[in-house]
Structure 1
Amino acid sequence: MQISEKSRQLHPRRFSRLRRLLIISTSLFSAGWTASAAAQEVEPPKVVPTVEAPATGPIAVPSPPPPEAVLPEVAPIIEDDEFEKAIPPIGAEDDPELDRPLESIAEFEQRQAAEAAKKPADAAVTSTVEAQPPVVDGVPLPALADGDTVEPIGDAPITDTELAAPLPPLENFNVEPVVFAEAEDPDANREVAYTVQVNGLAPADDSTDVDLADLFGDLSALYDGDGKADNAAMVRARLSADGELMQRILSSEGYYDATVNTRIDRTARAEGEGGNAQAGAGGNRGNRGPLVAVIDVVPGKRYTFSDVIINAAATVPPGLIKDNFPIAVGEPIVADRVQGAEAAIALKLPEEGYPFAKVGQRDILLDGATGDAVYTLPVEIGKRSRFGGIETTGDLAFDAEHVEVLARFKRGDLYDSRKVDDLRQALVATGLFSSIAAEPQPTGESAGDDTEYVTMLVTQDAGPPRTLAASAGYGTGEGIRIEGSWTHRNLFPPEGALIGRAVLGTQEQGIGATFRRSNAGKRDRTFELVAEATRSNYNAFEALTGRVGFRVSRDSTPIWQKKLTYAYGAELIATSEDDYDFTLGRRNRDFYTILGLTGQVGIDRTDSLLDPTKGFRVTTLIQPEGSLAGRFSPYGRLRIDASGYYPVTDSIVLAGRVRVGSILGAARERLAPSRRFYAGGGGSVRGFGYQQLGPKDPNNDPIGGRSVNEAAFEARYRFGNFGIVGFVDAGQVYRGSTPTFSDLRFGAGIGARYYTNFGPMRLDVATPIGRKPGEALVAVYVSIGQAF
C-alpha cells in the first residue's frame, strides 16, 4: 500500500495512528486466524451479546454442525505464547500519542497558523522548497493532476531523465529505428531447406489411369516450392494446404474413409556437410539438417459402384441415355468420370431432339461395411422437338429473315443444339453485335411423331458498326507501305458495308472504295463492287491505274475458316504504264485497256488461317483476259499455289510451299507490265529485292515474264509468344509461257516472330546465295502474318 506525501502532511498524529493500526491488523490477519481456530477446539464456547443490525434484508448465517457430528481435532498452527509475542505492544507507555484525543481540523489549522506566525523566515523557506518540484539529473519532475509530483517506482530512485520527462503529444510522437549493436549480415542465407515425404499413398491400378502421386505432385504447394522456403512457418503453411489437398484428391478417387496426417521432422546434418547455420543463440542449430515435411496417408477402402440407376422417361431411340453414359457397375468412384458422364448426357440429349433436357442432382449411397456405392441420377428429358420459326428481339442489326439466311436448318428438322451453336457462331462472325444469344422457346404446337415445334429466339445487341484499321510493312526494294481503311459494316442493312481504303508508301499510293454485301442471299456468300485508283513506281514499271470490278466469293475469315473457298468476277482496267522497248532502245509509255474474268478455287485443311501448324492448302487461279487497245488480244493467266505444314513437336513446325504460274496466248510485249509475272521480295523469294528476279533490260531493271516458279521451306520454332524461323527460298521468272525450273536463284535467312492474338508479327532477314553484282547483301522484310 502507498500513501501520498499529501496525506502525511495533513495530520502527522493521525497518520502515525493509522500506520500503527494497519500493522496490527496485518499481523492479526496473518497469524491470529489459525490460532483462533485452534482455540475453538479446546475452549468452551463463549456467549457473545447479540447486537441487532439494521433491517437491511436477510443475512446468510452458516448452519451449525449437527450434534452427533464428530469433528476432527485440529492442531494449532502456532502456540498462544508465540501469537502474543507477535502482537506489537499498544499503550500509552509505548506511544503517548495513542492516548491523546484527536483534535479537530479547525484546531489543527489554527495551531499550524500560529506556529507559522512565530517562524516566518522558516515558513518562507519551507514554502519555497515545497513550491519547487523535485529535480532529477537537472530535470524537474512533472506535477500530477492534483498537484503532487511524480513519485519514484517502488524504492528505486529515478536516474533516467527520459522517465521523468513528460510524454510528447501523440501527433508529434516519432518512432526512431532500433539500431542493433551488431549489424545483420546481408549475405546470410535465411532460406529453410526441406524435403517432402509421402507415406502410404495407394499406387495406380488398372481401374483408373490416374496416378495419385503424379496428380498430387502437379498440384502440391510443397513441390512447387522446390524444397526452399523463407522460414519454417511457410513450410508448415504449405504442409497444411497439401494435407487438405491430399484429402480432396483421395476423395475424388473414391477413398472416402482416408485419413491424412502431417508433421515436420528434422534430419540430422551429416558430419562434414557444409552449411552456413550459425551457433550461439541457436544452440546446436548448426547440426540440424533440412526439414522433412511428412504426409502420412491411410487410403482405406476404395468405394465402387454396385448399381447405377438413371431415373428418366423413355427416349427415342430407347438407349440414348444408357449408350452415352460411360459409368458401369464395378468401377471405382472417380469424380472426373462421374462429372464427365453427366455432362455427356446433358450435351447428347439436346443434340438428339431434346432441347429442354435437365440433369438433376446425383445421389450416391455408400455402404461403409462393403465399400459399395449405389448411384442414382434423375434426368428430365423434356419434350422431343423440331425446329419451327425464328424470332428476334433486342437492339436489332437485321431482321429475322436474314437470320434464316444464316441458319443451317429449316422448319421441321429435328432439333440439334450443334446447329444452334453454328448459327450463334455465324452471327458473331458478322462483327455487328456486342452480344448475341439464340435460345429455343416451346410453342406447344404439335409437329407429329410425338414431337412439337420450338421457336428460336435470337436476342440481338447491336455493336458499333464503324471500324478504323491500319497496317504497315517494309520490304527491301518495296519500301515502306502503310494502308488504312474506314468501314461501316451495316450502312445498307442487312450486312451492307461501305469501305474506304487508302495506301501510302514509298513506291505505291492509292485510294479506293468498296461496297460489300456479306451473306448475300446465301450463307457465306459475299458480293463486292470495287473502284480504285493507284500510282505505282517500281523498277519494273511506273503506272497510273484505274480499276472497277465485281466479285462474288466464299472466303475464309479469322473467325470463320472454311475448308472450301471460291471466287469469280470480272474487272475493267485502264492503265498507263512504261516499258522498255528493245526496238527503240529506251523506255516507252503506253496505254492499256484490259477486260478480264476471274475464277478461283481453294481447299484449306489447315488448323489456322494466319498461323497454321498442320494440314495443307491448295489454291488455283484462272484469269481469262484481253486487251481492248487496237485489235482484241485474248490470253489467259494461270497460277497454282500449294503449301503444307507438319508439326514435328509442339514447338517445332516444318512448312513448305510451291507456286507455278503461266500466261498463255500472248507475247510478252503485248502484255501490260503490271499483268506479267515477277518474283522476289517478302512474299516471294526472300533475299532479293521486290520483283528483281527474271529477265532484265539493259539498265538492269526487271521486265517480267510469262511464267514463274517458286519454292520455300521453313523450320519454325516457337517458345511462348516468341519464335525463330530459319528458311530457304528459291524461284525464277522466265520469258516463255512454260516454267523450265532451271537457273533457280536461292535465298536464305532467319526470322523472328512475335505472336499476338490476331496473328504473328514477322521480321525476316535474308541474303542471296551466289550473289551477283548489283544485288543487295541483306534484305529485310517486316509484316503481319507468316510468310505463307
Structure 2
Amino acid sequence: MACSASAYVRRGVSYIGLYTMMMVSLTGGNSAWAADPQDYLTTIRPTGNADLDAALRASSDLLSLQKTQAVSPFALTGRIHNDYSRLISALESYGYYAGSISISVTDASTRPADGADRGHDGRDPDLPEWLQTIPTGHKAQITITATPGVQFTIGTVTLTPDKGDPPVHLNADEAKAFGMKPGMPAQAETVLGAGSALQTAMTEEGYALVHVSTPQAWLRPATHTLDIAYTVHRGPVVNLGAFDFAGLQRTHPAYIVRRLTIAPGELYQPSRIERARQDIASTGLFSDVQVNHGDTLASDGTMPLNFAFREGKRHSVGAEGGYSTDLGGRAGVTWTHNNLFGNAERLRLTALMTGLGGSAEQGLGYDFYADLMKPDFGSRQQNLSVRLEGIKQELYSYRQTALLARIGIVRHINRRWNVSFGGQIEQEQIEQMGNTNSYFILSVPLSANYDGTGVDNPITPATHGVRIGANITPSASLTDGTSFFTIMQATVSTYFDLTHLGISRPGRSVLAWRGTIGNVEGASTFAIPPDQRLYAGGSATVRGYRYQGVGPQFANTRYAIGGTSMDAGSFEYRQRILQKFGAVGFVDAGQVTAGHAPFNGTVRVGAGAGARYYTPIGPVRLDVAVPLNRPARGDKWELYVGLGETF
C-alpha cells in the first residue's frame, strides 16, 4: 500500500457525508437554550513519550484554536472530526501506524454522581444535537486519548535509478549522509531527512542536477515494518561555468571577480558557493547578495551562476561621544563615503572636540582625522590604511599640537590572527613645565593581535577565550639632536564563564582579567618626547586615578613626567541581571617607573563598581572607581561612561 511523504498511510472511516446530513437535519431544530458560540476546554492525556505528546499538541486544532476562534456547536463537531485525522498523522509521523485516537466530550460543569465518564464519543452522530443541550455559561470538556500501539521500524530500503540511469551505488560518504538502515524507527523526520541528506551529499560532489525523490512507502502490518523506496537521478559531475553579475551600479565587476573565492572551471559545490556569497556580503558594500542557477547546463556542460546585488547606501553620518571625569567629555561627528573608487574603498572624516571639563585637562582640544581604507591591497585579506590627523591636547602633563601622517598594511593571517606594519611621520609642538619644544618623529609601528574569544564585533562582551596584542615601534626623534628609541607594549586579557562551574547560566556570570606591560629602550626618559613616554591611570590601565595620574610627577605638582617602564593589571566580575541590565565589580593596579625594568615603582590600586545597559549594538558602560592609595594631589574618585566593556 503506497502512501504520501507527509503521512505515509491514510486510513479510517470518512464522516464527511454523515456530518453533512446531520447539519441539514439539525439546522432547523430548536437551540434557544444552547450556547453559541460554544466554549470548550481540551485535554490531551500524556502518552509517556514527551516528543510524541508535543507533536499531538501541535497537531490539534481543538487545542490551538480554543481561545482564539469561538465556534458554534455544529462547527465544533466539525473541528472534532478534523482532529482525528490530524492526530493520527501525528502518531504515524513517529512510526505508530497501529495507533488509535479516542475523543470524548462532556459538560465540564456537571459530573456523574458515580464518577464514571459518561461523555459522548467524538464520532457519535448525535454529538451536534447533544452539544446544543449544554446551557449558556457551561463549557464542553473535550478529552483526547492517544493509544500509540507498536512503533513500526524500517524494513527494506531501496534506491531506484531514474528512467534510463545506471544502478545507484553509494560511496562511503554518500552512505554515511543517507544513514537509512533497516530496523530504525519509521519516523517521518528520519525518512524524509535521509533523502534530503543524500541529495546534499551528492551535490557537494559536483552532481549539480541530482534529484532524490520523495520516498514511497509500504506498510507491512504483519511485521510492523515500513518498506521505503527512493528514486535517484544522479546526473553528470559538473564544473562551474560563466558568472553573470546583475545590479552593480558603482562597484567594478573586476573587484568582485578578484574577491570571489570561487572561479569558473572549479567543481560545483553549493557549500563553497554559499561561502563565497557570504564573503562578498561581508564587505558591507551591499544590502543584499543572491546567487542562483538554472536547471539546465550550458552548451559546454558547465553550470553558469547568476549573482544579483543590491548596493547599500554610499554615504552615512554618525555621532561619537564619551565621558570620564579625568579626560572630560568628547563629542563629534563622522562622515563616511563607502565604495569611493568602486573597489570597496572607504573614506571616513571625523571631527571631535575633547577635554570638555576633565580633571586631567587644562582646556579644550580637538582631534580631526581622515581615514582611507583600501581592502584587498596586493592580495586577499590585506588592507591598506592611510590617516592624516591633526591633534590638540591641553593635558596637565603637557600641551600638544601635532600633525600626523600614517600609512600601514593590516594582514589577516586567519580567523584569529592579524598583523600590521607601516610608517608614521609626526610633526608636533609640546609645552611642558613652561618649556616649549618642537619634535619631528619618524616611526615604524609593528603589531600582532590574537583573538580567541569567538566574538567578531569588538563591542560585544566576550565570555571566554584569550586576547593578545603586542606592539613594537622603533622611532627616531630628529629635532635638537637625534635620539633613537623603541617602544614595546603587550596586553593579554582572558575571560572565564562561571557556567563551567555549574553556578550560572551561559554568559550570565563572567570573570575577566587583563594584564599590560610596556617598556621603552634606547633612551632615557627626558630624551624621549613627552607624548612617547609611558603613562598609567584611567580606564585603559588603572581606574580610580586620572589619566596619566599613576607614575612619577614633577615636584609639588600634579603634572606627570611619564616613564620608560609600565605594568598594570585588572580584574572584573561581570553579572547579567534580567535581560537588559548588568553589574560589574573591579580592582585595578599599576605602576610606572623611569627605569628600564618593569614591576618597579609605587603600585597604585583602584577599585570600583559599574552598571551596564545592554543594547543591540553593545552594552552602555557606567563605572565609578576610587583610588585605594592615592597620592596627595590625586582625585578622590573617577567616573567613566562609554560603549562596550572596558576590555
One-letter code aligned to 1:529: V
**Local SS of the residue matching 1:425:** helix
Contact map agreement 1:503 1:509 (CA 8 A) in 2: yes
1:746 aligns with 2:605: yes
Correspondence for 1:258 among 100, 119, 123: 100
Match of 1:48 in 2: none
Match of 1:309 in 2: 158
One-letter code aligned to 2:560: P
Q: Distance in 1 between matches of 2:597 and 2:267?
A: 54
Q: How many Å apart are 1:596 and its aligned residue?
A: 0.3
Correspondence for 1:487 among 336, 339, 343: 336
Q: How many Å apart are 1:594 and its aligned residue?
A: 0.5
Q: Distance in 2 between matches of 1:465 and 1:681?
A: 37
Task: Show structure 2 runs of 5+ residues with no match.
Answer: 1-39, 112-138, 357-363, 500-504
Q: Distance in 1 between matches of 2:439 and 2:168?
A: 70
Correspondence for 2:324 among 455, 470, 475: 475
Q: Distance in 2 between matches of 1:245 and 1:685?
A: 66
Match of 2:449 in 1: 602
Q: Distance in 2 between matches of 1:518 and 1:660?
A: 32
One-letter code aligned to 1:589: T
Match of 1:321 in 2: 174
Match of 2:535 in 1: 678
Contact map agreement 1:392 1:399 (CA 8 A) in 2: no
Q: How many Å apart are 1:293 and its aligned residue?
A: 7.1
Q: Distance in 1 between matches of 2:91 and 2:324?
A: 60
Correspondence for 1:758 among 591, 602, 617: 617
CA RMSD of aligned residues (A): 3.8
Contact map agreement 2:42 2:141 (CA 8 A) in 1: yes
Q: Distance in 1 between matches of 2:59 and 2:553?
A: 66
Change (3 A) 1:460 1:418: same
Change (3 A) 1:416 1:642: farther
Correspondence for 2:572 among 704, 714, 723: 714
Match of 1:163 in 2: none
**Local SS of the residue matching 1:436:** strand
Q: Distance in 2 between matches of 1:455 and 1:547?
A: 49
Q: How many Å apart are 1:606 and its aligned residue?
A: 1.4
Cα deviation, 1:503-561, whole Å, max 9, x if unaligned, reads 122254121222221122422221122111111112222110100121111369xxxx9
The higher-RCO structure (CA 8 Å, 6+ apart) is 2
1:336 aligns with 2:189: yes
Q: Distance in 2 between matches of 1:513 and 1:520?
A: 19
**Local SS of the residue matching 1:398:** coil
Correspondence for 1:631 among 466, 471, 481: 481
Q: How many Å apart are 1:317 and its aligned residue?
A: 7.5
Change (3 A) 1:332 1:691: same
Match of 1:459 in 2: 308
Match of 2:4 in 1: none
Change (3 A) 1:666 1:382: farther
Contact map agreement 1:258 1:301 (CA 8 A) in 2: no
5 Å matches for 1:297-696? 297-311=146-160, 318-440=171-293, 444=298, 452-505=301-354, 506=356, 507-554=364-411, 562-580=415-433, 587-608=434-455, 609=457, 610-611=459-460, 612-647=462-497, 648=499, 649-650=505-506, 651-696=508-553
Contact map agreement 2:572 2:584 (CA 8 A) in 1: yes
Change (3 A) 1:295 1:392: same
Between 702-711 and 412-421, the greater mean CA deviation after superposition? 412-421
Q: How many Å apart are 1:562 and its aligned residue?
A: 3.1
Contact map agreement 1:203 1:211 (CA 8 A) in 2: no
1:724 aligns with 2:547: no
Change (3 A) 1:364 1:644: farther
Q: How many Å apart are 1:695 and its aligned residue?
A: 1.5
Q: How many Å apart are 1:368 and its aligned residue?
A: 4.1
Q: Distance in 2 between matches of 1:219 and 1:703?
A: 75
Count how many residue pairs are aligned between Structure 1 and Structure 2.
Answer: 553
**Local SS of the residue matching 1:385:** coil
Cα deviation, 1:418-454, whole Å, max 9, x if unaligned, reads 32222212211222112212335665466xxxxx544
**Local SS of the residue matching 1:512:** strand
Change (3 A) 1:377 1:741: farther
Change (3 A) 1:258 1:725: farther
Q: Distance in 1 between matches of 2:569 and 2:342?
A: 44
Contact map agreement 1:579 1:703 (CA 8 A) in 2: no
Contact map agreement 1:246 1:260 (CA 8 A) in 2: no
Highest Rg: 1 or 2?
1
**Local SS of the residue matching 1:480:** strand
**Local SS of the residue matching 2:258:** helix
Contact map agreement 1:495 1:519 (CA 8 A) in 2: no
One-letter code aligned to 1:576: Q
Cα deviation, 1:112-153, whole Å, max 9, x if unaligned, reads xxxxxxxxxxxxxxxxxxxxxxxxxxxxxxxxxxxxxxxxxx
Contact map agreement 1:263 1:295 (CA 8 A) in 2: no
One-letter code aligned to 2:306: L
Q: How many Å apart are 1:624 and its aligned residue?
A: 0.8
Hey, which of these two has a bigger chunk of helix by percent?
1
Q: Distance in 2 between matches of 1:267 and 1:712?
A: 69
1:203 aligns with 2:60: no
Q: Distance in 1 between matches of 2:342 and 2:221?
A: 67
Q: Distance in 2 between matches of 1:481 and 1:676?
A: 23
Match of 1:169 in 2: none
Q: Distance in 1 between matches of 2:250 and 2:562?
A: 48
Contact map agreement 1:677 1:708 (CA 8 A) in 2: yes
Change (3 A) 1:337 1:518: same
Q: How many Å apart are 1:771 and its aligned residue?
A: 4.2
Q: How many Å apart are 1:224 and its aligned residue?
A: 11
Q: Distance in 1 between matches of 2:199 and 2:479?
A: 68
Q: Distance in 2 between matches of 1:304 and 1:694?
A: 76
Q: Distance in 2 between matches of 1:443 and 1:245?
A: 42
Cα deviation, 1:624-649, whole Å, max 9, x if unaligned, reads 11101133211111111212222223
Contact map agreement 1:405 1:522 (CA 8 A) in 2: no
Between 738-747 and 480-489, the greater mean CA deviation after superposition? 738-747
Q: How many Å apart are 1:196 and its aligned residue?
A: 8.9
**Local SS of the residue matching 1:522:** coil
Q: Distance in 2 between matches of 1:405 and 1:572?
A: 32
One-letter code aligned to 2:387: V
Cα deviation, 1:64-109, whole Å, max 9, x if unaligned, reads xxxxxxxxxxxxxxxxxxxxxxxxxxxxxxxxxxxxxxxxxxxxxx
Q: How many Å apart are 1:738 and its aligned residue?
A: 2.0
**Local SS of the residue matching 1:669:** helix
Q: Distance in 1 between matches of 2:482 and 2:213?
A: 76
Change (3 A) 1:354 1:776: farther
Q: Distance in 2 between matches of 1:536 and 1:646?
A: 38
Contact map agreement 2:425 2:442 (CA 8 A) in 1: yes
Contact map agreement 2:389 2:405 (CA 8 A) in 1: yes
Change (3 A) 1:198 1:411: closer
Q: How many Å apart are 1:590 and its aligned residue?
A: 1.1
Q: Distance in 1 between matches of 2:546 and 2:412?
A: 30
Q: Distance in 2 between matches of 1:544 and 1:315?
A: 77
Q: Distance in 2 between matches of 1:377 and 1:491?
A: 54
One-letter code aligned to 2:245: T
Change (3 A) 1:510 1:443: same
Q: How many Å apart are 1:394 and its aligned residue?
A: 2.4
Taking structure 2 as the reference length, the TM-score comes to 0.76
Cα deviation, 1:698-717, whole Å, max 9, x if unaligned, reads 21222222122222222222
Change (3 A) 1:302 1:548: same
**Local SS of the residue matching 2:197:** helix
Q: How many Å apart are 1:593 and its aligned residue?
A: 0.8
Q: Distance in 2 between matches of 1:258 and 1:717?
A: 51
Cα deviation, 1:283-305, whole Å, max 9, x if unaligned, reads xxxxxxx9987442212332221
Match of 2:116 in 1: none
